[in-house]
Amino acid sequence: MDDLFPPSNLLSRCIDIAPQARVKVESAPEIGGERILLEGGELLFSEHFFSDKVCKRMIEYLQESRNFQWKVVDWAQVPADQLKEVEFENVNWKQDYIKFFGKTHPLPRLTAWYGDKGASYAYSGIRSDPNPWNDGLLYLKARLEAALDVTFNSVLLNWYRDGSDSLNWHADDEPELGTCPTIASVSFGETRQFLFKPKNASKTQLSFDLLPGSLVVMKGETQQNWVHSVPKRKGVKGSRFNLTFRNIRVV
């Protein structure tokens, strides 16, 4: 095992690897970034896969509204009942709820699900039927498919309105995704940390600072052996939009 996972020099300043993590880092020219070989998984990472111009337009595109002052509003202060009245131009954002210890709680982020007809998805007791693709999502999808030589039929959008919105430790291992899915995660807006650890570990082993336009691709057996999270960060005041492109098994 020592020969398989020798020490490596990091190419990106946005990756932090814990001393106990056994990984190998290689160049990934297809995305202008790094390939990170894990014990039981594989990641690709690019700091700036999408240009600043694309990032700026996508941040606007994802929150444009016909009846709301979307350029100046503090979205974290908009209650769920008022959110339902917002006429978003491009994305049908929604507030989902989960049951925890017999009580219903709002999911600590807004979500939307888009994809091919029949590409429905269920996680944490929440079932989502796909909205039809729009031009902005198809543009991102085409860029990712060309670089990764993978076909995606769906995308989950997460809107972290500020540092109070988060994502708990989990793996994307739902049956609809298959055993070794390729999931491409792109980010726009505020920089947030993206953490990884083995399923049987107690401490984080990898941390990514996801800048606007960054890309993380989870491949191979990653979902079987690793979990990931986006922790709360009090100092983050603005929005981060995360889009994870997937291939759902359509029955």
Beginning with the edge strand found earlier in the chain, give each strand of the sheet holding 15-17 in spatial order.
15-17, 206-210, 192-198, 226-230, 167-170
**What is the reported pLDDT for 251?**
66
- pLDDT tens string 172-231: 999 999 999 999 999 999 999 999 999 999 999 999 999 999 999 999 999 999 999 999
Binding residues for 2-oxoglutarate: 158, 160, 170, 228, 240, 244, 246
Q: Cite the annotated binding site by residue number.
A: 101-103, 121-123, 158, 160, 170, 173, 228, 240, 244, 246
Mean pLDDT, all residues of the chain: 93
pLDDT, residue 74, reads 95
Mean pLDDT of 156-173: 97
| CATH top class, domain 15-246 | mainly beta
Q: Known binding site for substrate: residues?
A: 101-103, 121-123, 173
Q: Residue 43, Cα to own-chain centre: how many angstroms?
A: 13
- The 10 Å CB-count burial string (b at 16+, else e) for 129-152 is ebeeeeebbeebbebbeebbebeb
Q: What is the H or E stretch that residue 101 is in?
A: none
Alpha-carbon gap, residue 138 to 152, rounded angstroms? 10
Domain chopping of the chain, boundaries: 15-246
Sign of the torsion formed by the C-alpha atoms of 61, 191, 185 and 120: negative
240 C-beta neighbours (distance < 10 Å), count? 24
pLDDT at 2: 44
Phi-psi region of 220 (alpha: psi -120 to 50; beta: other; left: phi over 0): left
Q: What tokens does 94 get?
A: 């929604």
pTM score, two decimals?
A: 0.93
pLDDT-derived band at 1, boundaries 50, 70, 90: very low
Q: Which two tokens stand for residue 199?
A: 């399923």
User: Tens digits of per-residue pLDDT, 232-248?
Assistant: 999 999 999 999 999 99
pLDDT tens, position by position, 105-138: 889 999 999 999 999 998 878 889 999 999 999 9
How distant is the alpha carbon of residue 221 from its chain centre? 18
pLDDT of residue 8: 46
